[in-house]
Amino acid sequence: MKASRLKASCILLSVILVLGFVLPGCKKETPPPQKPSAPQKSTQDQAAKEKELVSQDQAAKEKEFLLDPDVVTCELEKTTISKLDFPKNRLPSFVRGTGQQNKEDVKQAQITLANRPFKILLGERPEREFFLFDVEKGFGPYWWGSWSLHSYHKIDDKFFEFMLIEEGTKIAARPYKGELGIIKVGKGGRELEKVEFKGSVHQRGNVSAPIGTIEEDRTGPVAECRIPVGDYTAYLMNVTYDNLSIDISNNYHTNAQGQSSGKEIVYGLQVRKDKPYVLDFSNEPMVVFDQPPKSKTSFSRGEEIKFAAVLIDPKLDIMIRGLDDTSAQVEKETSSGDKYKRPKSLDPNVVITRADGQIVAEGVMPFG
């Protein structure tokens, strides 16, 4: 292969050399003058224009946000992790991550919401490093998506929206005054006594909304919940059907159409003002497999080949991350040897065989 490539390179080089010489006895023609082409905008000009449009759009959104008569603002102050006055056992995980990256700089502020004081902590990425601390209650609510400044943050029985303003030097907050709709978990025609759920849902733009009552490090279970109207997918949710505990989330594996990378997220939980959305697992489930791409046609001896079996709802493109029987407890052991009890897992046993039936591998395949 190397010899062929070298030969091809030599041929190409010789062609270029021949074309570069003027053959003897031939008159070299002077090409006719060409009209100067219209100057094209440079990449820098285009980038500057795009930046200006983004800036104008941001300014318009900021102006609209600040028109709310109930908006409050607070100024962000630069500080370091070592100087934070939050309780050490209440610091968010992104602070630990920032420290591990040998970074110390963060921003903090104080603000009054729902007639009581809150503290705000902000890292470099507002969509991943936002922390709202309730001073009176002594904790910062945690649910999947609570770390994003752009989410709908629930305080008592109201939602609040936040926005960075004045080029990131301040944060503005206001009560959400848009339409609310109901999302609920349904029985789907099954004979059930206990039906409830908790967690959070997610929509475009790093926006999430909590499902359930707000507690210290989780959300509490409810049968139904009012959230801002919109199209959502499950972020991380737990559903209880009597003694069956079901964990679900958006499916980040292969979907029902066999698409994996670059697939569109399905926001199928459509919450509307005039019609409750009912999640009842009435769609026929299916199992999909993540496996090496078709372009991968050969493997080295000893190379690990990864497969994953995923149980999904093909219409909503959500996956079942776990099934537990809460009526039965099993003893488990940690890596350090400590023993504990947990609900019995209903994860399936998967067996991989050759065409002749010989077992190659088997074991419990966790969902998701």
The Cα–Cα gap between 182 and 161 comes to 19
Q: What is the pLDDT of residues 227-264, one digit of tens each?
A: 999 999 999 999 999 999 999 999 999 999 988 878 99
pTM: 0.80
Q: Partners of 320 in the beta sheet?
A: 248
Angle at 288 between CA 285 and CA 292, to 5 degrees: 170
Nearest Cα neighbor of 310 from 249, 244, 240 is 249
Query: Could you tell me which of 132, 125, 127 has the C-alpha nearest to residue 106?
Result: 125
Q: How far is it, in rounded angstroms, from Cα 142 to Cα 222?
A: 17
Half-sphere exposure of 19 (CA within 13 A, CB side): 6
The confidence score (pLDDT) of residue 144 equals 96
- Taking every pair of Cα atoms in the chain, the longest distance, rounded to a whole number of angstroms, is 100
Distance between CA 130 and CA 134 in Å, rounded? 13
Tokens (6 digits) for 324: 């537990």
Contact 209, 200 (CB under 8 A): yes
The tens-digit pLDDT sequence of the chain (368 residues) is 434 333 333 322 232 222 232 333 334 444 555 555 555 567 788 878 777 777 788 889 999 999 999 999 999 999 998 888 888 888 888 988 887 777 888 999 999 999 999 999 999 999 999 999 999 999 999 999 999 999 999 999 999 999 999 999 999 999 999 999 999 999 999 999 999 999 999 999 999 999 999 998 899 999 999 999 999 999 999 999 999 999 999 999 999 998 887 899 999 999 999 999 999 999 999 988 888 877 888 888 888 887 778 889 999 999 999 999 999 999 988 988 899 999 999 887 778 889 999 998 887 766 54
Q: Which tokens in the block code for residue 256?
A: 């029902």
pLDDT at 309: 80
Give backbone dihedrals phi and psi of 208, rounded to 5 degrees, phi first.
Answer: -130, 165
Model pLDDT, residue 268: 97
User: What is the structure's pLDDT at 335?
Assistant: 86
pLDDT value for 366: 61
Question: CA angle at residue 317 from 159 to 256, to 5 degrees?
Answer: 170
**pLDDT score at 266:** 96
Q: Which tokens belong to 243?
A: 């003694």
Dihedral of the CA atoms 173, 179, 182, 183 (nearest 10)?
-60
Who's near 140: CB < 8 A, 6+ residues apart? Answer: 90, 92, 131, 132, 133, 134, 146
| Beta carbons within 8 Å of 21's beta carbon, 6+ residues apart | none
Residue with tokens 């902590």: 121
* The predicted structure's pLDDT at residue 34: 57
Q: What is the DSSP string of 278-313?
A: EE---SPPEEEEE---TT-----TT-----EEEEEE
* Res 88: pLDDT: 81
